[in-house]
Structure 1
């Protein structure tokens, strides 16, 4: 792990991220019928511009028919040139990119749409800096830049940009130390589905509707009835929380996504699971986590990681309120 000054811009390789392109004349209407959020009207973005704000960037979920998330992604519109048809780029976890591209392709049928898993042909990196420095970032021609929401951490407001670059044979001199990026992703409290957490969560269980990942006014998509029913009938009994523990307390306990949580009063029944985690770049003995957890488990007693004998998790405040529909 490399220690970077907190206010120094950093761009690091993100090998855990992948990329899917969905392109063609019918790409927008096709994705509109598949994803939890509307993609209609997204602005087209061309280098050296970076896609940013809700007009150009959306958080989307892809659910199974039971409303469980198969994937989450950040999406933008990046045609190859001004005369080219729509080309949507979905930034998502690399370990699920191939299966998601294959599943989306199953529903193309006669639509004028092509779904491409570009995770091997394109490399993803993450650029983060304090907010005042983000104007200095320039996206090169042929690259794709998509800005994520700012994150407040360690008394700084950080800006973040995902950058996709075609592997054209030229060498990359970027750092492989992504701890700053990974930690900011955790502290954003915006979840990312990975292979270990596929089909574990209805969107509201990980606050997806409160981070603008669900449009309740758009048309149907797989699992839409379940997602809407969970919202309007008030049956949400699990939520994403931020938490932390010490590295010294871990021993052999995993902090990987999918690791289960247990309440001290119910050792036989998991109370939730890890969504994402990262060591802190500023506090050497601290691990920060996104965890999905039963709400009643938060009312009293201790929550442990891995087992009731595992390290105790301390719950931290979320950086946003829950929305009310």
Structure 2
């Protein structure tokens, strides 16, 4: 056991399942950031380090982001695709040094993506590693003030980053302010302890709930190589640059966009019960026909299950259910339309 885990256990941490950590009953934890500040360990994420003189050129040919936009301030969303345009991993790209980038992604796809990129790395002066860092979140109405006071940085804007020595802070969207903190273990533990004095520890499912409410899906190993990036609304979140040159899968991704051939989309919805559907649980219509699958689920502050599911597009409205429980559609906090990351960059 490491010092990070040991300290969290003194605060009441329970390992409910692999990469599922909590500090108590789910509904009460979900209420915490609505009225105060919460801190949450985030074991569901991993960090990949891509470094070397050719790091930018290497990434430019592999990912949907315009890599030059990752300038140490703006931290664009991105996707790594197969030649058929299916997402192998989606994540957020940070430039942490002149020739070094960090990528935050779902822990379940970190090893497969590393193996995929390693096939191309020998042709570039680049090294791909997995740094020993910890990730946690700060969320709540006073989260920005907490980050500034305890971490001695100016809180970054949404999809931007701030850096203090080896610690990186990212601002993610959602119904309340929230920040992801990434740091080596000693620095992460010091930052966590600093935040403990004015924040309440909660489980990582609370952060996942705010991902759902932000319409933000992080694909894991079970969903790898299954969906076009547009099927997780990635172009609506600025995760695809249609102005850049070729990258693996670019032709298929661009064709789907310009011809309007995206047959599935991300749906945000709520179940009227407290049973969390497992990832991959099918979504059915009234006739029992499968319309898609759940990609993310968490309990909200009312004890209801909120989900993100990728479902087949239809012109006519239809009733949907999961295991016979009606699915209530909820609005996404963004329009389903192309957002160019170039327009989001702090360079512009």
Q: Normalising by structure 1, what TM-score?
A: 0.82
CA shift in 2, pair 1:224/1:5, >3 Å? closer
State the 1:188 CA deviation.
Answer: 0.4
Q: Counterpart of 1:23?
A: 51
Q: Counterpart of 2:111?
A: 98
CA shift in 2, pair 1:315/1:169, >3 Å? closer
- Mapped contact 2:55–2:125 kept (Cα < 8 A): yes
Q: Counterpart of 1:315?
A: 329
- Mapped contact 2:63–2:247 kept (Cα < 8 A): yes
Please give the alpha-carbon distance, in whole angstroms, between the structure 2 residues aligned to 1:256 and 1:36.
Answer: 29
State the 1:217 CA deviation.
Answer: 1.0
Secondary structure of the corresponding residue to residue 67 of structure 1:
coil
State the 1:169 CA deviation.
Answer: 9.7
State the 1:136 CA deviation.
Answer: 3.7
Q: Which has the higher helix share?
A: 2
- Mapped contact 2:106–2:220 kept (Cα < 8 A): yes
| Cα distance per residue 1:95-122 (max 9 Å; x no partner) | 111121121121112311111123xx21
- The question of 1:32 aligning with 2:60 is answered yes
- The runs of 5 or more residues in structure 2 that have no matched partner are 1-24, 154-163, 340-348
Please give the alpha-carbon distance, in whole angstroms, between the structure 1 residues aligned to 2:188 and 2:259.
Answer: 54
Please give the alpha-carbon distance, in whole angstroms, between the structure 2 residues aligned to 1:62 and 1:220.
Answer: 12
State the 1:94 CA deviation.
Answer: 0.7
CA RMSD of aligned residues (A): 2.2
Q: Counterpart of 1:112?
A: 125
- 1:207-218 equivalence runs, <5 A: 207-218=233-244
Q: Counterpart of 2:321?
A: 304
CA shift in 2, pair 1:147/1:5, >3 Å? closer
Please give the alpha-carbon distance, in whole angstroms, between the structure 1 residues aligned to 2:43 and 2:280.
Answer: 19
Please give the alpha-carbon distance, in whole angstroms, between the structure 2 residues aligned to 1:19 and 1:63.
Answer: 18
- Pick from 116, 130, 135: which aligns with 1:124? 135
Q: Counterpart of 2:293?
A: 273
Q: Normalising by structure 2, what TM-score?
A: 0.77
Count residues in correspondence. 289
- Pick from 110, 135, 145: which aligns with 2:169? 145
| Cα distance per residue 1:254-291 (max 9 Å; x no partner) | 623222111122x3x421111211110x212x111111
Q: Counterpart of 1:162?
A: 180
Please give the alpha-carbon distance, in whole angstroms, between the structure 2 residues aligned to 1:29 and 1:303.
Answer: 45
CA shift in 2, pair 1:22/1:294, >3 Å? same
Secondary structure of the corresponding residue to residue 70 of structure 1:
strand
CA shift in 2, pair 1:70/1:263, >3 Å? same
- 1:5-16 equivalence runs, <5 A: 6-16=34-44
- Mapped contact 2:69–2:75 kept (Cα < 8 A): no
Q: Counterpart of 2:12?
A: none
| Cα distance per residue 1:140-183 (max 9 Å; x no partner) | 532221222x322xxxxx22222112124985657352233121
State the 1:23 CA deviation.
Answer: 0.8
| Cα distance per residue 1:73-108 (max 9 Å; x no partner) | 0111112xxxxx421111111111112112112111
